[in-house]
Chains A and B, each alone.
Chain A
Amino acid sequence: MLIKLANGTLYDPANGIDGEVRDLYIRDGRIAEPAGDEKVDQEYDLTGKVVMAGAIDLHTHIGGGKVTIARTLLPEDHRGDPMPRSELRRSSCGHVAPGTYYTGYRYAEMGYTAGFEPAVLPANARAAHMEMADIPMIDKGGYAMLGSDDFLLRMMAAGDDQEAINDYVAWTLQATQCIGIKVVNPGGISAFKFNQRSLDLDEEGPHYGQTPREILRRLARAVHELGVTHPLHVHGCNLGVPGNVDTTLRTIAGMEGLPVHLTHIQFHSYGTEGDYGFSSGAAQIAEAVNANPNVSVDVGQILFGQTVTASGDTMQQFANHSHANPSKWVCMDIECDAGCGVVPFRYKDQSFVNALQWAIGLEIFLLVDDPWRVFLTTDHPNGAPFMTYPHLIRLLMDRSFRNDLLATIHPQAQAMTTLASIDREYSLYEIAIMTRAGPARTLGLADYGHLGPGARADITVYTDQPDREAMFERPDYVFKSGELVVRNGEVVKVVWGTTHVTRPEYDRAIEKRLARYFDQYLTMRLDNFTMSDEEITEDGRGSITVHPTQGGSRQ
């Protein structure tokens, strides 16, 4: 079956195509180059339409224990946003901690075809994958969380060499069925269990005496040496703490050129100037990102309204619990791996701090020069739920819209931001980079995020409209692996995406050592900890796609 998408205006940055009118062909789920005389079975006239690859969210909390804690904690939040069942679809609930079905349907209805859960605790990987298995429509993947786990800290304290750490990291990727490694408040979640309430970059943590700087370096090296495409995904020290811009700059310098991805950087870009002792460090951060090609960031933009913060960072979540709105929160220590914290939150445009956070995020977006190294996220749901992405895109693409909103926020925050003086407006090409080509490239998804021959036919078609929010809110068509799954912003076919993983080689000797550690200290057998492929594929919906490492991979 050959499908022709005729006359669309293509934005395909991976192939250097910037708004050219072209025909696209789909065969067997992929972009095809038909022979001259091949018969077209179905044709869509896309004259005047904008065509991009399916969008990829590389940092969204959609599965794993903490998300379900947030769901369970907030019945009042779901009540305002029920999603009824149809002949086709399951019912579900929104809003800030939506149900799995809602998550999949809404992402697809916004033109997204993949989402990556950034905080898979190894001990809870099974939970993360079970929840993601119930997310229809989109592809999924996860980053396994290390850096506060007792096993790594013991290795480092015992002076283990980098090789051994690499083996452990590779084993973790395999055991948890993940595609990347995340570190959250390196060493800090462990320190919190010893009742310590802060940990700075060069401070030795309790008991093990390891500094966050050293943990970051060891893990970043491991990820790099193993040939994992996505660099170490870092949620740094001192999240949300005024003055943390300095920590973040020192973190960047401390990587000594190793590839690193700094996530929700907005929460790590705060200075201490001004009457409130809270100011924007966006310009310094953007300058550092521009100057260090080994660094990429996603923003974690905040948007005003109700949300819930869900994070592995128990230390900082605990520190923020007095801001909980509604007033209830959860902290949990998990199996000598890490932990999680869930704090509901309402960002207010008339709060000086929230208003400035909003401006700081936008400043970073607009001051980082290279759209290949800055990705569009709200750190769903921490800055705002993912359903706000079209609004965020409009803020980036439409200066007068942005400035109109800027004029309504807390006046002192207006005075403390340079936002009004920034003229930049993102182009469709740049939006396609930061939401498609860029994430695919950093994750190593070679045949995703672009429209070249052989690519997976995950395609989104929009009507070009001056109101970019309306445009991105409701695509005309979304194709998933070549099948039409969304028409006029509504799901017309339910499909199930694949799970993206990577599997670097490692020396199996590490498993013996892990087995001893598990038997002595943990409450689960190593054999039962490790996830098999069947656990993802057995119910007939899921599948696994293994992506090669740079330098060979086990299948």
Chain B
Amino acid sequence: MSENTTIVENATCTFCGCVCDDMELTVDLDEKRITKARNACVLGRAWFLEHRHQERPAALIDGREVSVEEAIEEAAQTLVKARFPIIYGLSDTTCEAQRQAVALADFLDGNIDTTTSVCHGPSGIAFQGVGESTATLGEVKNRADLLIYWGGNPAEAHPRHFTRYAVTPKGMFVPNGKKDRTVVLVDVRATPSTPVADIFIKVRPGRDFEVLWALRALVRGKPVDPGIEEVTGVPLATLEDLVERMKNCNFGVLFFGMGLTMTRGRHFNSGALLSLATDLNEFTHFVAKPVRGHGNVTGADNVVSWQTGYPFGVNFNRGYPRFNPGEFTTVDVLARGEADAACIISSDPASNFPRAAIEHLKRIPVITFDPKPTVTSELAHVAFTTATYGINVTGTAYRMDDVPIMLRPAFESPYPSDEELLRAITDRVRELRNG
């Protein structure tokens, strides 16, 4: 470690949707790395400390090193030639870059979609169906005395969720922290999050909807057949007890994760849970909140919505935005073999999409933006190495509860940001199309 170090206070971790903004980073300016990340959890520490400056070409065309300018030109030409270009990813970049990505999709008459479509897309669809009663994490921290987790495992996915935002912290109206709160965990199996819970309710896989619907009925004073236990694995008495707790708390929260949204029932599950929280407001104050994964996926939903009116899966083929999940969501557009060029921004679909989608990705020119090599960048026609948001790049990220937070970079990167690249490509695309 060199002598040349600096401390960045109040830096923001963008690794998961908690977007903790209380990092104290010790930065070795000579070696260009972060040597200490105070307040970070294990995931956050890895995110900061493993970020090493690596000598990599700033841009590659078909694996050959080129200048950034050449790559921008090639990217623009490729996209302009395409009849159905798509843009995908965006959850691990700044809102400023997301904004630019929507502009690019718009000027290309292309398609834009984010990782929301493969994680909490069903929650978004449910939201459009039934609305929601919700709250930010600061309200949960200070007011919530009943916390119910459904189909999520924050202990592993969002390690500081329990300690910084929800369970243990002392709040204005829950001054004794965990002692003043009841924690319920609902899942199909015990997870590392289970020990936090006062009550663990084990649901038979694929039966969340039935449990939620029974709870709604009980909340409304409707009878529920004791046979519910056979179907769901949860005794009626357990449900009745939970309903009493829900109706009698001061401020209740239903947090839910992909165990609910991505299993049988999907947006029906999310819709049932949102409706349950809404119904409970006839008795007390009750809110629901999806526990979102990636750093700035919530920002992506916001930016795409305020520009186009729709949160994800947006298509501009007709020159104006259209929204239709299942039609314009990336997995579907690829699996049907429709896209003929793809811009992948800070995401690695080639490692996690269904096979048919990946096969098509291999057939078309792909342009990637990523700080590190990925499976997708390996198959890219044009691959940009980018500066990392929150570590090298300033800007804005939205926490999972729609609260926007600014980013304080630790040191400069030799590589351009997603925003700069996307802006340059957009400008060039406009020249090519208008000129």
Q: A: which residues have CB within 8 A of B?
A: 63, 65, 67-68, 71-75, 78-79, 82-85, 87, 90-93, 97-101, 123-124, 126-127, 130-131, 134, 150, 192-195, 207, 318, 324, 328-336, 339, 342, 521-525, 527-528, 532, 535, 539
Contacts and interface: CB of A to CB of B under 8 A. Distances in A.
Nearest to B105: A91
B375 interface: no
Contacts of A71: 305-306, 309
Interface of B: 9-10, 12, 21-22, 95-96, 99, 103, 106-107, 109, 124, 127-139, 141-143, 164-165, 171-173, 250-251, 281, 284-285, 287, 301-303, 305-311, 316, 318-323, 396, 398, 402-406, 408, 434
B138 A123 contact: yes
A194 B287 CA distance: 13
10 contacts: A72-B310, A85-B109, A85-B320, A90-B106, A93-B308, A134-B306, A195-B250, A523-B136, A523-B141, A525-B22
A538 to B, nearest CB: 8
Contacts of B103: 90
Contact of B138 (A78, A126, A335): A335
Q: Which of B129, B132, B404 has its CB near the most chain A CB atoms (within 10 A)?
A: B404
A73 B321 contact: no
Contact of B132 (A90, A330, A334): A330
Contact of B172 (A75, A90, A100, A521): A521
Contacts of B22: 525
Contacts of A195: 250-251, 284-285
Contacts of B130: 328
B406 A535 contact: yes
Given A73-B131, A93-B308, A97-B309, 9 more contacts: A72-B301, A79-B322, A84-B319, A90-B307, A99-B308, A207-B173, A332-B133, A521-B142, A539-B96
A318 B286 CA distance: 12
B404 A124 contact: yes
A126 B406 CA distance: 9
A532 B9 CA distance: 16
A-B pairs with lowest CB-CB distance, top 7:
A82-B320, A93-B309, A328-B131, A333-B135, A335-B138, A78-B309, A126-B404
B329 to A, nearest CB: 14
A421 B295 CA distance: 61
Given A78-B310, A527-B10, A91 B136 contact: no
Given A124-B403, A333-B139, A92 B134 contact: no
A336 B307 contact: no
A127 B21 contact: no
A193 B316 contact: no
Given A85-B107, A127-B402, A195-B250, A92 B321 contact: yes
Contact of B319 (A85, A127, A339, A523): A85
B376 to A, nearest CB: 28
A126 B21 CA distance: 15
A334 B305 contact: no
Nearest to B171: A521
A519 to B, nearest CB: 9
Q: Is the interface of B mostly helix, strand, loop or mixed?
A: mixed
Contacts of A539: 96
A91 B405 contact: no
Contacts of B321: 78, 82, 91-93, 99
Contacts of A92: 307-309, 320-321
Given A328-B129, A331-B133, A521-B172, A336 B305 contact: no
Nearest to A123: B403
B107 A131 contact: no
A93 B136 contact: no
A528 B406 contact: yes
A486 B16 CA distance: 45
Nearest to A62: B306
A418 to B, nearest CB: 38
A390 B157 CA distance: 52
Given A72-B305, A93-B320, A318 B281 contact: yes
Contact of A524 (B96, B124, B405, B434): B405
Nearest to B95: A130
Contacts of A75: 128, 309-310, 323
A244 to B, nearest CB: 23
Contacts of B408: 528
A331 B402 CA distance: 14
B406 A332 contact: no
Given A99-B307, A522-B138, A524-B405, A333 B131 contact: no
Contact of A332 (B136, B301, B316, B396): B136
Contacts of B165: 523
B308 to A, nearest CB: 6
Contacts of A150: 142, 172
B311 A72 contact: yes
A87 B434 contact: yes
Contacts of A84: 318-320
Nearest to B100: A539
Nearest to A532: B406
B147 to A, nearest CB: 15
B130 to A, nearest CB: 5
Contact of A525 (B21, B309, B402): B21
A84 B310 CA distance: 15
Contact of B302 (A68, A194, A318, A525): A68
A330 B143 CA distance: 19
Contacts of B404: 124, 126-127, 130
B10 A525 contact: yes
B169 to A, nearest CB: 9
A77 to B, nearest CB: 8
A101 B165 CA distance: 35
B131 A330 contact: yes
A72 B128 contact: yes
A91 B320 contact: yes
A455 B147 CA distance: 57
Q: Which of B22, B124, B308, B311 has its CB near the most chain A CB atoms (within 10 A)?
A: B308
A131 B304 CA distance: 11
Contacts of B95: 130
A334 B403 CA distance: 9
A129 to B, nearest CB: 9
Q: Which of B10, B129, B136 has its CB near the most chain A CB atoms (within 10 A)?
A: B136
A331 B109 CA distance: 35
B411 to A, nearest CB: 19
Given A99-B306, A193-B285, A130 B396 contact: yes
A523 B137 contact: yes
Contact of A330 (B134, B138, B139, B323): B134
Given A93-B321, A524-B405, A134 B134 contact: no
B138 A336 contact: yes
A535 B404 CA distance: 12
Contacts of A74: 128
Contacts of B109: 85
A335 B127 CA distance: 21
Contact of B21 (A100, A328, A521, A524): A524
B301 to A, nearest CB: 7
Nearest to A328: B131
Nearest to A344: B131
Contacts of B310: 72, 75, 78, 93
A428 B402 CA distance: 44
Contacts of B141: 521, 523
A104 to B, nearest CB: 11
A150 B137 CA distance: 15
A63 B434 CA distance: 31
A335 B134 CA distance: 12
A333 B287 CA distance: 9
B107 to A, nearest CB: 7
B131 A329 contact: yes
B296 to A, nearest CB: 12
Contacts of B303: 130
A185 to B, nearest CB: 16
Nearest to B319: A84
